Structure formats: C-alpha cells, structure tokens
Structure 1
Amino acid sequence: MAGSSEQQKFSFQEILDTFKLCLTESKEVDLQHYLDGWRGLVKFLNRLGSVFGFISKDASNKIQILVGHLNGENGSQYVTIQSMVNFELEKELVDLTKKVGQHPESGCRTLLRLHRALRWLELFLERLRTSTEDGKTSVMCAEAYNESLAQHHAWVIRKAAGVAFCVLPGRLAFFEAMNVGPPEQVVAMLGEALPLISEVYQITEKLYAHHNLLELA
C-alpha cells in the first residue's frame, strides 16, 4: 500500500468532494469535475497495485481524450456531458451505425467507457461498504464486474480480470488505501459518496439511453 508522497497524500474524501461538485443546479454533469473525480478513482486503483491496471490504464487514456476535447477549439461545447452529447449528435461526430474506426475518439464514445467502469466501481464499493467479512473482496469484485463491465469486455479480458481478482487484498486493506480513517469512518464516508456517484451515473445513463448511445461500438 505504500507509495509515493503523492499517493500518501491521497484520500478518498477528495473523490467524494469532487463528485459533490459534478452536478449543476439543473442536474447536468460538469465534465471537468467528472474527470477530476475519475482522476481520484485512478489514484485509488493504483494504490492497490497492478491488479486493476487493465481498468486504470484505460480510464487514464479516456480521461486524456476528453481533456483534449475540453481544451480544443470546441471546448465550450464540452462543459457538461449534456452539452457534449447535443453538440456531437448535431455535428454528426458520433457513429451510431457501429462501424468501428469512424470517429473512435468522439466524446460520447469515450465517456461511455468511463461510465461503464463507474458502475462497476459503484457496485463493488457498495459491497465493500455493507460487507462484514474481510476476505471476500475477490467475490465482491467479481460479482460487481459480472453485473457491469464484463458484458462489454472480450473473453480474454474477462478471463484475465477473473484471475486478477483472485489476489485482491482483504476489505480492511481497501479501507486503508482510501486513507480516510478507521473502518467505521470509511463506511460512513462511502455511505455519503456512493449515492452521489450513483446519481451522476443514473443521470448519464438516462441521457445516453434517451439518445440511443448506450451500445456505441
């Protein structure tokens, strides 16, 4: 669990604070805060070693693509996830015909990958929060994965993930990596954080469903 000074300073509380900022008064999702939240989640995953590398590396790549859109000439269209979806659909930047290779780095397609991974993390962290057993994290993680990301991954990735989950540390080690305090404090923090993450997920899910974007290739 030890790492660089940057890792030592990390606290899961930062992620909670960031996701609090994600939603605007009109319940739109601020893309910059969303990406900041994901940067925190990547830090958390990296603190657990290489086990989640296949997810954290992909997430980091997707974050960089979306930062490129935010800082690009049309950056003002990417302030919220809602404005991004409207802009890319209007400009026909999203390939709805599942022809892989056409606009592979559209904001909508890129964010969908983070969106799916967020669901996995939400499900897994909820199991960690409510469980009373220390040694069942591999089962909790596998169940959460099978309910979310697995259906979007190729067989080879699913197989590798299953092997990786078998060597996960216990529940208390995850709590230690969050760097929040004693277990009861971590449980309380997760109780506050997960409904916020869930709300951000559900708003994004409804938006993508409304525009038939949930199965983008």
Structure 2
Amino acid sequence: MESLGTMVGFFSLKVKEKVILIQELSLKHSAEAHGKRGLRTPESFGLKNGAYRSVRSMVGAELKEGVVHFSRHTDSGCRTLLRLHRSLLWLKLMLEGLAEGPAVDGLYKTPGELCRDAYKVALAPHHPWVLRQAAELVFLALPDRRYFLQVVCVQSQQEATPVLHTIIHALTLVHTQTQRILAEHDMLELP
C-alpha cells in the first residue's frame, strides 16, 4: 500500500499499528497466563492454544475477562479487530470495483472513484467529518488505474481480473467469518 503514495502509506501504517496492538495484547495475555516463567515457546505466546489463537477465542477470552466495553473506548483486541474488519471491507469493495469492466460509455472508474465508493460504504459511517474530508483529498491524489494494476503485478485489465477475483474471494472468506463472530456477540458497533 505504501507504493500508492504518502497518504495511502499513512493508512497502511494505521493498519500495521492495529495488528501490532493485537499481537501485544496476545503476548500480554500469554505472559499473564503463564506467569513470569520466561517461557519462549510458541505455546507460551498463545500461538497454538492461547486466548488469541483465533478470532473466536480472542472474543471469548476478552468477554470473559471484561476487557470489552460496549459503551466506552478500550484498547481491546475486539475493538481493534473491528477497525481492521472495516478496513478489510473497504479493500474488498475497492478491489471488486477494480475488477469490474468498463461502464456503458466504455470508461473504467478511476481508482479514486473506486476508493471513494468503497470508503462511503465501509469506513465513512464510522469516521468524523474531518477525517472524511481528508479522505476525499487522498482519493483525488491517487495514481491512475495502470499504476494500480502494476501493484498487483499485471499489465492489463484482462490479466488483472482473475488475479483480483482470487484476492477478493480470500478477503470475502475472512470478512464473512469475522462478521459472523462479531455479530454473534453484538460487537459490530463497539465505540
């Protein structure tokens, strides 16, 4: 994502920060579960059987421990995952647009238009006005469609479509499963 420019790089950095936060929460939880014995095996970090080994196990552990609050902001893994989940939807919608053929007039939507359309559905409803306005500036500054196609290592729309459909399929599987788990626990609107 950094290759798409400074502003997109900023959003990519925010995603990385969220992933790191969940990793840190996992390590903290595992350290507390194993005490301060200094274990350094994958099991001691919770990678095989710890509370953060899956979305479902993390949600269950954080609910059990009272880490998730439904009325105020906390740095829980569930809240952080929800933000990542919304970003994943944005990416999926944008790539679906990139995979589409041209409009009736024979023209393709620009990446800026695709990003704006996806943003309005996935992220804008959860962002304050100032951030929504900043996003509009980013959409105007995005490179052209050819550049986006090169990022996915293809030279033409025809080559891109099957690659994009493979990526979209994988994103859809992850998004659907995460959506189901978050919805089961009424976590789709955490503050």
Task: Tell me the TM-score normalised to structure 2 length.
Answer: 0.82
Deviates more, 1:168-177 or 1:65-74: 65-74
Aligned counterpart, 1:121: 91
Contact 1:142 1:162 in 2 (8 A): yes
SS of structure 1 residue aligned to 2:189: coil
Shift of 1:123: 0.2
Shift of 1:59: 0.7
Contact 1:137 1:171 in 2 (8 A): yes
Gaps of 5+ in 2: 31-45
Q: Which has the larger radius of gyration?
A: 2
Which AA in structure 1 matches 2:170? Answer: L
Paired residues, number? 168
Which AA in structure 2 matches 1:199? Answer: L
SS of structure 2 residue aligned to 1:141: helix
- Of the three residues 3, 8, 14, the one matched with 1:58 is 14
Deviation per residue, 1:123-177 (Å, 9 max, x gap) = 0011011143456221111111001100011100000001110121111110112
Distance 1:125 1:182, change over 3 A: same
Shift of 1:82: 0.6
Aligned counterpart, 2:155: 182
Which AA in structure 1 matches 2:92? Answer: E
Deviates more, 1:79-88 or 1:52-61: 52-61
Tell which has more relative contact order, 1 or 2 (C-alpha 8 A, sep 6+). Answer: 1
Shift of 1:72: 3.0
Aligned counterpart, 2:65: 91
Aligned counterpart, 2:5: 49
Percent identity reads 34
Whole-Å Cα distance in 1 between the matches of residues 154 and 119 of structure 2? 27
Deviation per residue, 1:73-115 (Å, 9 max, x gap) = 433110000110011111111012x223xxx221101111100
Gaps of 5+ in 1: 1-44
Structure 2 residue 85 is matched with structure 1 residue 111: no
Whole-Å Cα distance in 1 between the matches of residues 159 and 177 of structure 2? 28
Whole-Å Cα distance in 2 between the matches of residues 131 and 166 of structure 1? 21
Contact 1:135 1:169 in 2 (8 A): no
Aligned counterpart, 1:67: 23
Which AA in structure 1 matches 2:4? Answer: L
Contact 2:5 2:142 in 1 (8 A): no
Shift of 1:70: 2.9
Whole-Å Cα distance in 2 between the matches of residues 64 and 131 of structure 1? 37
Deviates more, 1:183-192 or 1:196-205: 183-192
Shift of 1:61: 1.0
Which AA in structure 1 matches 2:78? Answer: C
- Aligned-CA RMSD value: 1.5
Map 1:127-166; keep pairs closer than 5 Å: 127-132=97-102, 133=107, 136-166=110-140
Contact 2:59 2:78 in 1 (8 A): yes
SS of structure 2 residue aligned to 1:166: helix
